[in-house]
Amino acid sequence: MRLNRYIDHTVLKPATTLEDIKTLCMEAVEYDFAAVCVPPPFVKLAKTFVGSTNTKVATVTGFPFGYSAIEAKVAESVLAIIDEADELDMVANIIAIRNKDWAYLEKEIATIMPIIRNKQRVIKVIIESGILLEEEIIKCCELYARFGVDFVKTSTGYAEKGATVEAVQLMRKHLPANIGIKASGGIRTFAFAKELIAAGATRIGASASVQLMKEASL
């Protein structure tokens, strides 16, 4: 298992500095991580740091709570694409999920997907699995599979509960094989990352990525 190619090396804290981004990107290039995931204002800078390497630049939209208007998510998506982000991690409207407003969620993803596909970008939809009921996770998987998203992602890292093996297993059971699963939130050890990958995760979002790699080499 090439753990490095599963990892989205991440810094999304509100007080992120230019130096944080430089360090993140240099580490990502050194370890050949799949991507860096950075706040929207740092996308252009991250692109210059990773250059023509294999490491992609991801950013977030609707982050971290997901309840911004569809129009706001459209604007964020367009700006991220203009700044040359390769991948967009969009937080679904968690309020709509908890209130079973599936029509709203369908409208949201139906509005966003043409923008993503037209520019051949990757979209990961964050559903915040740690605060959802099992039936809500299943319904999300069914909905986003229908629209052909690239990944369904467990968590933002800002809820009280992040990724779990059980949530990843449930998602894998209810998603087609061509849709990836990004596990994120609280992944601080290689052992846990390995469990999540065994459960079906195809990406790992982590800020402790370098530590994971050091543990993996022991």
Report the distance separating Cα 71 and Cα 76, nearest Å: 9
Which of 89, 139, 150, 194 is catalytic? The answer is 89
Nearest alpha-carbon partner for 24 in 59, 50, 61, 62: 50
Report the distance separating Cα 41 and Cα 175, nearest Å: 32
| Furthest C-alpha separation in the chain | 49
Measure Cα distances from 34 to 68, 84, 165 in Å: 28, 16, 21
172: tokens are 């894998």
- State yes or no: is 182 an active-site residue: yes
11 with 21: CB under 8 angstroms? yes
Which of 47, 73, 124, 182 is catalytic? The answer is 182
Which of 73, 124, 139, 153 is catalytic? The answer is 153
| 114 prior amide bond cis, ω within 30 | no
- State yes or no: is 89 an active-site residue: yes
* Catalytic residue set: 89, 153, 182
